[in-house]
Structure 1
Amino acid sequence: MSIPIPREGFCDTGNMFRPHESMMKRFQLESPRPKNANGERHGHSWCVKSLGVIFVLVSSLLGQGGETSKVTVTAVEGESWLNHLHRTFDETSMGKTGRLGPPATTPGEVPAHWQLGLSPGFATQTVALHGRDLYRLNCQGCHEESGLGAPPEINSVIDPVRATSVAIIMERNKKIGMDMSRSAAAELAKQSRTSLLQRLHHGGQDMPPLPYLSEAEVRSLFAYLRQLAGVSGAEREQVAVMESSSHIGEQIVKSTCHVCHGAAGPNPSPQELLEGAIPPLNTLTTRTSLPEFVGKVISGASITMGTPPLSCRGRMPVFGYLSEDEAADVYLYLMLNPPHQ
């Protein structure tokens, strides 16, 4: 079966194809063609090799959607969760890790060198994730590693999860002098479990829904929440689920990035950024390369704002709990599943 080459990714140059400049820039293939022994630039062979690198990466990603049989990866869409809540970036703790990137560089200062180190074949591998990983990808941005959140805006997950334990319910009632039968405690625990699972699927007043998680993922996540909450025996309930890189990227985007970033829209000017505008997700892969994006996500980077444009410390939190591979999964997910309104 022939696979059509996207027009925006490649351009015809007579008898051969070469990567389009925008595609080369995304993967940092924009370096000059190497010279041969006679000092001449390599032509066709260099282009074919560059084309091969991009084609193998993109085609393999396009073919991996069936690896996670019970999950269909879809594009992110619509306004940001903060816009949905009519809340500004400065008025929320959602998606904030408490860490910012390095201070802005001064004129003439050379930024610190950062080297990208992705795992071989990261874009096509299927990895086993446990509940603690699913929590990290989907919940930690708001509820923090501890699960305590940032009250009163972001409630702790600990007490609602403990309410799903029969033993804890009976112990609490005993401490306040109330006797409760095990069957009554079991009924309360069942109701709490149903309520919590419903919240994971459908969200709440301030919490975005997580409908993209499969039943297996929800069970794995719920098991870890019980362990995080200190429920006795929960460590024996932990289970792994197999995840594709596309779905890992989808989870991070929909649970964390989309809290602040709208799916689609025009790229803001430096002055608009200074005034508080947040760039949309659909322009991300055209304004930054893959290495630039990964570095910004896990280490932070300065941003150009204002009139005249000046280098400023970035406002975007640093997500140091993500690996380089996971940050790269976000970039490639957005590239292969263009966000839309």
Structure 2
Amino acid sequence: MTDRRTLLALPMLLAARPGRAQDGFPNRPITVVSGYAPGGVTDVTSRAVAERMSREFGVPVVVENRVGGATAVANTAVAQARPDGYSLLMGTTSLAINPGLQPSLTPREPMRELAPVGMVFRSAFVLHVHPDLPVRSTAELIAWCRANPGKLDFGSSGTGAVNHLALALFAQRAGIQVTHVPYRGGAPALLDLRAGRIQAMFQAVLEALPSLAEGTTRGLAISSAGREPLLPEIPPVAEVLPGFDAVFWQGLFAPAGTPAPILARLGAALRVATEDADLRARLAQQGVALITGDAEALGGLLARETALWGRLIQEAGIRPD
């Protein structure tokens, strides 16, 4: 039977739950803004994580898609929002790329204008080639390119896309020359790769799986530092080019100036979501590896990649289309 002391202590116990606070945060819906269209892996992951955070907070956490300007529309909307914890951004690698590739886009200084909350996921690319190309490993591909400089047509989903920068980093580290062929998205690039009109590309694992299974393309390497659970037999590029790690990532941000206690509550709820075993297993089937990383980890990643991609963009002379 519940005694009087337990009843008196109940409000304090509820306030101590993750996401609950004596000041009432959150006491109304939270909006998470995404710069990507509905239906893709980024959107699906955002909604799954937001739904799990909703359960933790006891208020709706809704995803709002604001597409445009290489995610600058979404990024800027949150950077300029009231710093009260109710407007958040599912930021991605574009935050690290845009300052170097398109410095006119806002926010011009994401590390100063946004406050990191925590990591959400990392997604690797697979380096795959047309089967007519006479190579079966990363080392053989590098050797072929050195013997045939500029003759390999290497596709991407667009100039400045993460898989284009992965290609540029690969070519720079390997000391090879290839011909970059940009497309408007990964799907048309894959069609040309399957048809042999281009010979290679880095592509999101989930998008490449059917072609790899059919044998219409051949997988050589994974772009992340470790192996990909969906393709455990394919080694990472890093086994040939030590330190190579080029992935698409997503993290949760708030406007700069958001009070530290609110950031901490948001981070705690996000941690619960990214550690949820059922959610991790469900998203892993789509090639998404949920990651638990705090605000410091996300801020450090953004700083490192802003420097990495900015330097690469400058050295390789990459310009937006």
- TM-score where L is the length of structure 2: 0.24
* Higher radius of gyration, 1 or 2: 1
- TM-score where L is the length of structure 1: 0.23
